[in-house]
């Protein structure tokens, strides 16, 4: 019973969604639409659980003055403050405190985290891009050509039109490869979906 | 020496990258560059639009990708203002709201209205909110929202972001769905973005659709060029090309120099890494 | 308050939200009231006349309007000549500016009345095209009582000739259920007269239907009351939403620039028809059926023959157990990140399935697992899956609920916090499986600095290069979806993998044949049909 019931729900919900793709009948669309509404409500309700989880994990550590408890206090404090500001000022017109929080904290911190990529790319390039074998050498060469090709320097080199070669690599070699991965991944996704819907895969439910 | 290079502290690379980014910003070195057809096609499309044409612009990015995409958005808004196009803004990202508000305040209500910057030597007849430009606001729902935009905009956004019903806006007269716009522009940095627009509405409604995205996501969209996406701006380089076309170099042109130095440093790091690798391999072989 | 109590409260409040979300009632529509008509003599301050207006019609909006739910799509006024006409008909109108002081009232200008004629008016409220209002008992439109009789004044705009008569020929129309329709719409098609001068537009009205509704304005997909086909167009097509049932009749009114609208003959009565299969999607159905059939065929063969199903080695998956063992030896935790996308993304589902197997292994090895999540629902499901994994390993006591953490649904806040966990707790093994975006390299590089063994897998193609550069093992695209089946070695799951492989072989064969056709016979009908299909579907 512990696994049968969830398997049944999964099968019915999954089968309805698959059938809805093939059957235009509005009655089925209503049922699926209602299920989608439920899905949206469950997703929203999970934020309540998420907030409880954040407090559950962090408050005891702050109370016990565990290592790095200061960070956790900042986390809980800023989460509560942002929530109050968001509820009070609303999200549509971010003025006042909410807008200030967005401009002063959110925007620069977000951009900073993303900008770290530049530094990490340099260190990853130094240690990981090694011409160990033919494939790695090909990838390395392609990477260098594309990098030179996107900069204005690529246009100034007299003996080779790096921009044209870059365009060729992106348009043919890269597109071909990514389409192959895409087709494989799409089929894999369909297979995974079928396994779950048919109840073949039940590792997430455990044994009876 | 080889030993030290093998175990090079990565903070040296960070320092070098920091210098490669900051120095070109302080001392702008100007390098000229070509404009690719992908970018030029957007410029040409807007150039041939008659004044008063209405354009839909879905601004779908957040502050993290703002440095890369914002320069294009700014350049194209300047271009649209110069061409007297009417602009309907919307966003599918909640973090896009302050970005659009900032762009409107800075470019349309600031630079354009006061006749400064790009418009210092250009005519700038008044642009009225609701008649010449409007911001519909943010709508949750991601891909489903895009599909709904293809059916009925007013049902999705009963009022614009400041609360006026859409039926009362002169700019929305005769504009039921995306189909009624001469051009749909989508600066976007991920999901939901241009891929979802293509999937949901572009092919189905036969839209004139152009997109700007980050350099990393560019390869996601190139398969759609030029059939579904007639113009495509990729990252800083694409934005710099557009700035050059509009004739007002901004942060992307300055950023391109940064990009050049940054890329060169990455190439240098790869070369150095391989040099160390081969020297080390030669040494171990010599020992055996 | 104990953890269990907090959990009960959380679930209870979630259930309340759920219940509130599901009990939105099917509404009925209230009609507009207090319709008043007055000749336009002087304009109210701040109002402007958009055309040669002669009558101002004001009314109180429907009680259902602006109630929070957007129930009213639009208001449409109809008029008749008092004492002459029996039915109310559409006319040329414009909505006047709303009066900010009286938000409950609205008004229209009559733009094509004939001066000196006596008119009376009604106003219809037309509901939004929502399935609840279409299918439930709620009416689709509601009409006000008739207004007072008014004598139209001379048109305000002197440049328009008040005596101008249009040569108006009524249009012919027919209605059918649209192709492959769900049974809630009717497609109306009208043949417009070849030469009609002085026509301002057309208005579609509907009557009858399962509720025997009186004749009222119908909104088609153009979504406006006045339909204005392009210059020279000979037909007008509209798809109108309709409650399921028979007995609908449509009438198309031709509205002249000046004077009264002329009705076409009503269309034949028509009913909605729900289609049970969309033949355009049969190709997808065939592939799906093939995959199902192959799965069961391979499964039967494996069960009968008792032979193992061969699946090629995936080194990245083999490394997972090894890496968990290493973490145990070093006495450090295992970090598992199930991507940053929603639970309905199939990559997240695949990752959650693997999480079940990984947590079972972790419990067996008596190691700690940390699962930071970006989406609250993923954290909720993840916690259940980890708990189950520990239970299956026979060590339910070792499970700590706080090890599955929701951090933030903001991408880079999540990334920063996960980096913090890596730097403070120093996990010996990092497993990144699922949907990743810009944070992939930042996570993987931090893990590298920590000297952790890193196994990554994603179907996000743009992030694969970063994982390949920074991780020890990377699962590409479809390999991510194979991990759970591969780890289980269960014949049922492996036969499904095998079926997917065969379908892939079929796809390759189709690609090869298609390419050959395009190269050898680019002008043939088959090739053109294929190219057309690829161009319209995009991929």
Of residues C156 and C477, the one with the higher pLDDT is C477
Token pair 């002087």: residue: C42
Q: Mean pLDDT lowest for which of B193-202, C106-115, C161-170, C340-349?
A: C161-170
Sign of the C-alpha dihedral computed for residues C424, C428, C432 and C433 taken in this order: negative
Looking at the DSSP bridge assignments, the partners of residue C204 are C252
* Whether residue A91 has pLDDT greater than 80: no
* A102: chain B residues, CB-CB within 8 Å: 95, 98
Q: How far is A155 from chain B (nearest CA, A)?
A: 7
Q: Which ipTM was obtained for this model?
A: 0.91
pLDDT for C20 equals: 59
For residues C325-352, average pLDDT? 94
Distance of CA C389 to the CA centre of its chain: 36
Range among B51-65, C83-97, C254-268 rated most confident: B51-65
* Whether residue C259 has pLDDT greater than 60: yes
Residue A193 tokens, joined: 């979906």
Of residues C17 and C420, the one with the higher pLDDT is C420
Q: Please choose, from the candidates C66, B161, B107, C68, the residue with its C-alpha nearest in 3D space to the C-alpha of residue A91.
A: B161
Cis peptide before B192 (omega within 30 of 0): yes
Looking at the DSSP bridge assignments, the partners of residue C433 are C457
For residues C301-308, average pLDDT? 79
* Whether residue C166 has pLDDT greater than 70: no
* B215: chain C residues, CB-CB within 8 Å: none
* Whether residue C18 has pLDDT greater than 60: no
Residue A49 is nearest to which of C284, C380, C410, comparing CB atoms? C380
Of residues C354 and C7, the one with the higher pLDDT is C354
pTM of the predicted model, to two decimals?
0.82
* Beta carbons of B61 and B99 less than 8 angstroms apart: yes
For residue C447, give the H/E element and its range. helix C440-449
Cβ contact (<8 Å) for B190 and C412?
A: no
Q: Decide: helix, strand or coil at residue C251.
A: strand
Give the number of other Cβ atoms within 10 Å of residue C136's Cβ: 14
Residue A129 is nearest to which of B63, B262, B273, comparing CB atoms? B273
* A203: chain C residues, CB-CB within 8 Å: 353, 356-357, 484, 488
Of residues C170 and C429, the one with the higher pLDDT is C429
Of residues B223 and C190, the one with the higher pLDDT is C190
Token pair 């000739």: residue: C161
Dump strand ranges (E) for A95-189.
none
C162 half-sphere exposure, CB direction, 13 A CA radius: 15
* B217: chain C residues, CB-CB within 8 Å: 462
Share of residues in chain C with pLDDT > 70 (%) = 82
Per-residue pLDDT tens over the stretch C382-410: 999 999 999 999 999 999 888 899 999 88
* B63: chain A residues, CB-CB within 8 Å: 106-108, 110-111
The pLDDT mean for chain C works out to 83
* Whether residue C241 has pLDDT greater than 50: yes
Residue A148 burial (10 A CB sphere; 0-12, 13-18, 19+)? buried
Cβ contact (<8 Å) for C224 and B167?
A: no
Range among B31-35, B105-109, B282-286 rated most confident: B105-109
Q: How far is B51 from chain A (nearest CA, A)?
A: 31
Residue C13 tokens, joined: 């409040």
Cβ contact (<8 Å) for A151 and B237?
A: yes
Range among A82-96, A192-206, C145-159 rated most confident: A192-206
For residues C32-44, average pLDDT? 77
Residue A151 is nearest to which of B17, B67, B260, comparing CB atoms? B260
Q: How would residue C25 be classed by pLDDT, with cut points 50, 70 and 90?
A: very low
Q: Answer left, alpha or beta for residue B31, where phi above 0 means left and psi between -120 and 50 means alpha.
A: beta
Residue C100 burial (10 A CB sphere; 0-12, 13-18, 19+)? exposed
Cβ contact (<8 Å) for A194 and C415?
A: no
Per-residue pLDDT tens over the stretch C365-377: 999 999 999 999 9
Q: How would residue C191 be classed by pLDDT, with cut points 50, 70 and 90?
A: confident
Q: How would residue B275 be classed by pLDDT, with cut points 50, 70 and 90?
A: very high
* A131: chain B residues, CB-CB within 8 Å: 274, 277-278
The pLDDT mean for chain B works out to 89
Percent helix, percent strand, percent coil in chain A, to nearest 5: 80, 0, 20
Question: Residues of B near C (CB-CB distance < 8 A)?
Answer: 10, 64-65, 151-152, 154-155, 158, 167-168, 176, 190, 198-199, 203, 216-217, 219-220, 223-224, 227-228
Q: How would residue C101 be classed by pLDDT, with cut points 50, 70 and 90?
A: confident
Cβ contact (<8 Å) for A128 and C469?
A: yes
* Whether residue B283 has pLDDT greater than 80: yes
Of residues C96 and C518, the one with the higher pLDDT is C518
**Residues contacting residue C97 through CB under 8 Å, at least 6 positions apart:** B168, C46, C47, C48
Cβ contact (<8 Å) for B274 and A125?
A: no
pLDDT for B229 equals: 94
* Whether residue C415 has pLDDT greater than 50: yes
Share of residues in chain C with pLDDT > 90 (%) = 35
């Amino acid at each position: 019973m512990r696994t049968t019931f969830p398997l049944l729900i999964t099968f019915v919900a999954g089968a309805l969604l698959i059938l809805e793709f093939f059957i235009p009948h509005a009655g089925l669309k209503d049922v699926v639409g209602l299920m989608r509404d439920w899905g949206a409500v469950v997703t929203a309700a999970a934020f309540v659980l998420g907030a409880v989880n954040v407090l559950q994990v962090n408050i005891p550590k702050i109370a016990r003055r565990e290592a790095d408890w200061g960070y956790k206090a900042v986390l809980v404090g800023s989460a509560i403050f942002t929530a109050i500001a968001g509820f009070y000022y609303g999200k549509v017109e971010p003025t006042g405190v909410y807008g200030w929080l967005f401009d002063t904290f959110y925007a620069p911190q977000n951009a900073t985290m993303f900008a770290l990529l530049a530094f990490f790319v340099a260190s990853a390039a130094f240690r990981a891009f090694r011409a160990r074998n033919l494939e790695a050498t090909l990838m390395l060469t392609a990477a260098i050509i594309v990098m030179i090709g996107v900069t204005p320097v690529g246009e100034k080199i007299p003996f080779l039109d790096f921009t044209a070669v870059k365009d060729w690599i992106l348009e043919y070699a890269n597109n071909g490869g990514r389409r192959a991965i895409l087709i494989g991944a799409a089929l894999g996704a369909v297979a995974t979906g079928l396994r779950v819907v048919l109840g073949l895969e039940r590792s997430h439910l455990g044994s009876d | 020496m080889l030993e030290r290079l093998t175990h090079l502290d990565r903070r040296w690379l960070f320092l070098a990258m920091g210098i490669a980014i900051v120095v070109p910003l302080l001392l702008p070195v100007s390098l000229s560059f070509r404009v690719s057809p992908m970018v030029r096609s957007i410029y040409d499309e807007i150039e041939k639009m008659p004044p008063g044409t209405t354009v839909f612009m879905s601004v779908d990015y957040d502050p993290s990708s703002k440095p890369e995409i914002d320069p294009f958005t700014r350049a194209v808004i300047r271009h649209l203002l110069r061409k007297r196009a009417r602009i309907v803004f919307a966003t599918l990202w909640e973090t896009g709201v302050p970005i659009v508000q900032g762009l409107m305040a800075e470019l349309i209500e600031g630079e354009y209205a006061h006749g400064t910057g790009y418009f210092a030597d250009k005519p700038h007849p008044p642009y009225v909110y609701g008649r010449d430009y409007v911001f519909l606001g943010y709508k949750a729902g991601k891909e489903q929202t895009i599909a709904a935009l293809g059916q009925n905009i007013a049902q999705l956004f009963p009022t614009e972001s400041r609360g006026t019903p859409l039926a009362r806006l002169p700019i929305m007269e005769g504009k039921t769905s995306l189909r009624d716009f001469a051009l749909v522009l989508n600066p976007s940095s991920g999901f939901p973005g241009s891929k979802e627009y293509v999937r949901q509405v572009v092919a189905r409604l036969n839209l004139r659709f152009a997109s700007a995205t980050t350099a990393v996501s560019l390869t996601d969209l190139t398969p759609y060029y030029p059939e579904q996406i007639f113009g495509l701006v990729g990252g800083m380089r694409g934005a710099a090309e557009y700035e050059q076309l509009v004739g007002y170099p901004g942060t992307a042109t300055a950023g391109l120099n940064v990009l050049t130095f940054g890329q060169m440093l990455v190439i240098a790091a790869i070369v150095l890494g391989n040099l160390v690798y081969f020297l080390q391999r030669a040494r171990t072989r010599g020992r055996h | 308050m104990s953890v269990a109590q907090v959990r009960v409260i959380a679930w209870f409040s979630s259930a309340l939200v759920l219940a509130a979300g599901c009990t939105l009632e099917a509404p009925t529509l209230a009609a507009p009231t207090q319709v008043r008509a007055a000749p336009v003599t002087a304009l109210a301050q701040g109002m402007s006349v958009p055309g040669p207006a002669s009558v101002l019609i004001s009314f109180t909006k429907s009680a259902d309007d602006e109630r929070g739910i957007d129930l009213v799509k639009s208001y449409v006024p109809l008029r008749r000549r008092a004492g002459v006409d029996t039915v109310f008909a559409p006319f040329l109108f414009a909505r006047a500016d709303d009066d900010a002081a009286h938000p409950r009232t609205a008004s229209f200008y009559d733009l094509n009345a004939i001066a000196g004629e006596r008119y009376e008016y009604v106003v219809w409220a037309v509901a939004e095209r929502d399935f609840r209002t279409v299918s439930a008992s709620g009416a689709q439109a509601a009409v006000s009582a008739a207004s007072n009789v008014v004598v139209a004044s001379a048109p305000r705009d002197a440049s328009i000739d008040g005596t101008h008569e249009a040569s108006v020929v009524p249009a012919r129309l027919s209605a059918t259920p649209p192709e492959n329709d769900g049974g809630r719409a009717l497609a109306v098609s009208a043949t417009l007269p070849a030469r009609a001068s002085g026509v301002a537009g057309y208005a579609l009205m509907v009557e009858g239907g399962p509720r025997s509704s009186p004749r009222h304005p119908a909104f088609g997909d153009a979504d406006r009351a006045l339909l204005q086909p392009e210059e020279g167009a000979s037909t007008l097509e509209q798809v109108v939403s309709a409650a399921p049932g028979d007995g609908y009749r449509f009438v198309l009114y031709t509205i002249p620039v000046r004077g009264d609208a002329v009705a076409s003959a009503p269309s034949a009565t028509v009913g909605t028809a729900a289609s049970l299969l969309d033949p355009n999607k049969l190709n997808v159905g065939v592939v799906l059926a093939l995959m199902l059939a192959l799965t069961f065929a391979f499964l039967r063969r494996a069960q009968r023959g008792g032979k193992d199903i061969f699946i090629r080695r995936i080194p990245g998956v083999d490394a997972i157990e090894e890496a968990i063992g290493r973490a145990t030896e070093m006495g450090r935790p295992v970090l598992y990140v199930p991507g940053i996308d929603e639970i309905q993304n199939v990559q997240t589902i695949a990752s959650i399935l693997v999480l079940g197997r990984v947590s079972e292994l972790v419990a067996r090895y008596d190691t700690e697992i940390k699962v930071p999540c970006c989406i609250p629902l993923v954290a909720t499901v993840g916690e259940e899956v980890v708990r189950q994994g520990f239970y299956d390993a026979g060590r339910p006591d070792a499970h700590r609920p706080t090890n599955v953490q929701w951090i933030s649904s903001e991408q880079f806040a999540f990334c920063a916090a996960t980096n913090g966990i890596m730097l403070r707790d120093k996990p010996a093994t990092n497993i990144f499986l699922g949907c990743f975006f810009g944070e992939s390299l930042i996570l993987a590089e931090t893990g590298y600095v920590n000297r952790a063994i890193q196994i990554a897998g994603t179907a996000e193609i743009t992030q694969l290069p970063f994982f390949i550069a920074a991780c020890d093992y990377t699962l590409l695209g479809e390999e991510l979806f194979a991990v759970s089946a591969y780890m289980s070695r269960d014949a049922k799951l492996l036969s499904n993998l095998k079926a997917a492989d065969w379908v892939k072989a079929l796809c390759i064969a189709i690609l090869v044949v298609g390419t050959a056709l395009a190269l050898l016979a680019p002008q043939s009908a088959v090739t053109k049909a294929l190219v057309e299909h690829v161009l319209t579907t995009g991929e």
